[in-house]
């Protein structure tokens, strides 16, 4: 009842000229318009220094996880600008290759010696400490019955962070948490996700039975709001599938689904994207098939995946490269403030969530960019209505091409595939 009254009140506030268009579409996406970052987008430069205004030094991380020695030129060629290196490779094994490829480095659990030696290195982005601390510590507490473990690990994180900052005050230090919050541990998740210089989480939504990305969207918005919209939010997304031995199977996304996840994350506040993970003996040891340009069925050490699974990995690598190129082109827009313009979003068709179409409107030097994501596994017709007359409208495609679109003065219609994303350039 309260939801219906709220919707009626919102509709009553909109101009009559907007409301009459509801006859073309079944529903209005009340929660679809994201208004985060109207005063500036928190992000960093290549060395992790905080910024809120886009400029030549601004950096939008396009990272890949578990990069290994020998892979960095391939990673750079696919448009990544950042790597989480595998812990089994020493800094000496990888730093020369990282520099040669022009990539930025995120290092897990750096020693004092590593921090000291790389504190002034122009290719360092940040230092990463605890992995999935809320969820993993909860599971360890269940196994050991040690109820003090969460508090002890949090104190240890704060102590280690302070020690690193004393050696290197420049680069951000942070944990990378999971999106899953164990029942009753909401406060601990909030502590972990506000304790770093950036807020980082992994989010892997594509499991058997997945119908939408709503939980992922809510988790990212939660992190943004917990930090008052003042810290960068870096999201690690699913670019892997289950290999033999995985207890909880997940499937490899398609390139379109990966793009949909990325834009869903960005629209809800992500200011950096990491893909998990680069396929190698490291991921296969964890019963995971990642992505790579030449994924083989077997690495010679672990059970083989099928020919179709290896092909899907190679296909997603190509899709990731295309996504990287698109995000690179859009970076000035992504890191521009969110426009204050009020507009309405409609959709046609039956949905599982109240607002399946999510949007964010950016303004860059008089040009508006509308980012749109369909968070459900079904297609929808869409309509967007604005308070100003549209002068020119184009859809910006993932491959860099543009298509002029028709509009009817203050509005336009289009469609989105399942888990689809769209980018529009609008001049009023």
Q: Tell me the domains of the chain and their CATH numbers.
A: 2-30+339-427 (2.60.40.1180), 43-332 (3.20.20.80)
CA count, 13 A, side-chain hemisphere, 417: 8
* Phi/psi of residue 418, nearest 5 degrees: -55, 130
State how far the Cα of 111 lies from the Cα of 200, in Å rounded to an integer.
Answer: 21
Q: What is the DSSP string of 335-369?
A: TSPBP----EEEEES--SSS--EEEEEEEETTEEE
State how far the Cα of 208 lies from the Cα of 254, in Å rounded to an integer.
Answer: 14
332-335-339 Cα angle (round to 5): 100
What tokens does 120 get? 């002034």
Burial 205-241 (b: 16+ CB within 10 A, else e): bbeeebebbbebbebbbbbbebbebebbbbbbbbbbb
Whether the Cβ atoms of residue 126 and residue 197 lie closer than 8 Å to each other: yes
Whether the Cβ atoms of residue 31 and residue 354 lie closer than 8 Å to each other: yes
What tokens does 202 get? 């992994």
State how far the Cα of 83 lies from the Cα of 162, in Å rounded to an integer.
Answer: 24
Q: What is the DSSP string of 177-191?
A: EES---TT-HHHHHH
pLDDT for the residue numbered 30:
64
Q: Bridge-partner residues for 200, per DSSP?
A: 176, 234
State how far the Cα of 38 lies from the Cα of 40, in Å rounded to an integer.
Answer: 6
What tokens does 48 get? 């992790």
Whether the Cβ atoms of residue 356 and residue 418 lie closer than 8 Å to each other: no
State how far the Cα of 358 lies from the Cα of 272, in Å rounded to an integer.
Answer: 18
pLDDT for the residue numbered 132:
98
pLDDT for the residue numbered 25:
59
Rounded to 10 deg, the angle between the 214-226 and 255-267 helix axes is: 30
pLDDT for the residue numbered 26:
57
Entry pTM: 0.93
Give the N- to C-terminal CA distance of the chain in Å, as an integer. 38
State how far the Cα of 127 lies from the Cα of 170, in Å rounded to an integer.
Answer: 11
Q: What is the DSSP string of 63-106?
A: EEEEE-TT-HHHHHHTT--EEEE-TTS-HHHHHHHHHHHT-EEE
**Count of beta carbons in the 10 Å neighbourhood of residue 293:** 15
The sheet carrying 421-427 orders its strands as 357-364, 367-374, 421-427, 392-396, 402-404
State how far the Cα of 160 lies from the Cα of 195, in Å rounded to an integer.
Answer: 12
Give the helix/strand (H/E) hosting 263. helix 255-267
Quick one: how many helices (H) and strands (E) in the chain?
12, 22
Residue numbers of the chain with a pLDDT score lower than 70: 1-26, 29-30
Nearest to 178 by CA among 203, 146, 198: 203
């Amino acid at each position: 009842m309260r939801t219906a009254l709220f919707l009626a009140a919102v509709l009553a506030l909109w101009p009559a000229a907007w409301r009459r268009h509801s006859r073309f579409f079944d529903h209005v996406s009340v929660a679809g318009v994201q208004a985060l970052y109207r005063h500036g987008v928190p992000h960093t430069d290549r060395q992790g220094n905080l910024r809120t205004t886009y400029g030549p030094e601004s950096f939008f991380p396009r990272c890949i996880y578990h990069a290994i020695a020998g892979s960095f030129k391939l990673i750079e060629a696919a448009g990544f600008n950042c790597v989480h290196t595998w812990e089994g490779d020493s800094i000496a094994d990888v730093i020369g290759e990282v520099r040669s490829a022009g990539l930025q480095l995120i290092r897990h659990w750096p020693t004092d010696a590593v921090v000291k030696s790389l504190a002034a290195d122009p290719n360092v982005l940040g230092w990463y400490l605890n992995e999935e601390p809320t969820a993993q510590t909860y599971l360890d507490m269940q196994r050991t019955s040690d109820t003090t473990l969460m508090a002890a690990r949090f104190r240890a994180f704060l102590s280690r962070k302070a020690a690193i900052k004393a050696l290197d005050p420049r680069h951000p230090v942070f944990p990378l948490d999971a999106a899953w919050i164990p029942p009753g541990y909401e406060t601990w998740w909030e502590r972990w996700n506000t304790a770093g210089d950036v807020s980082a989480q992994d989010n892997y939504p594509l499991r058997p039975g997945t119908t939408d990305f709503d939980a992922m969207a809510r988790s990212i918005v939660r992190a943004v709001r917990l930090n008052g919209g003042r810290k960068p939010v870096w999201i690690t997304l699913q670019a892997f599938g289950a290999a033999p031995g995985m207890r909880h199977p997940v499937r490899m996304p398609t390139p379109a689904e990966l793009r949909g996840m990325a834009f869903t994350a960005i629209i809800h506040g992500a200011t950096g994207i990491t893909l998990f993970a680069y396929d190698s003996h490291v991921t296969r040891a964890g019963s995971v098939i990642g992505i790579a340009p030449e994924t083989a069925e077997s690495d010679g050490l672990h059970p083989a995946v099928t020919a179709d699974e290896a092909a899907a990995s190679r296909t997603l690598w190509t899709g990731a490269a295309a996504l990287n190129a698109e995000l690179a082109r859009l970076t000035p827009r992504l890191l521009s403030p969110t426009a204050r313009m009020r507009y309405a979003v409609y959709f046609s068709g039956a949905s599982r969530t109240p607002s399946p179409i999510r949007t964010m409107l950016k303004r860059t030097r008089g040009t508006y960019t509308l980012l749109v994501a369909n968070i459900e596994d079904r297609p929808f017709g869409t309509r967007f209505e604005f308070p100003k007359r549209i002068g020119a409208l184009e859809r910006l495609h993932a491959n860099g091409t543009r298509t002029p679109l028709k509009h009817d003065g203050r509005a336009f219609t289009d469609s989105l595939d399942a888990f689809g994303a769209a980018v529009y350039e609008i001049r009023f």
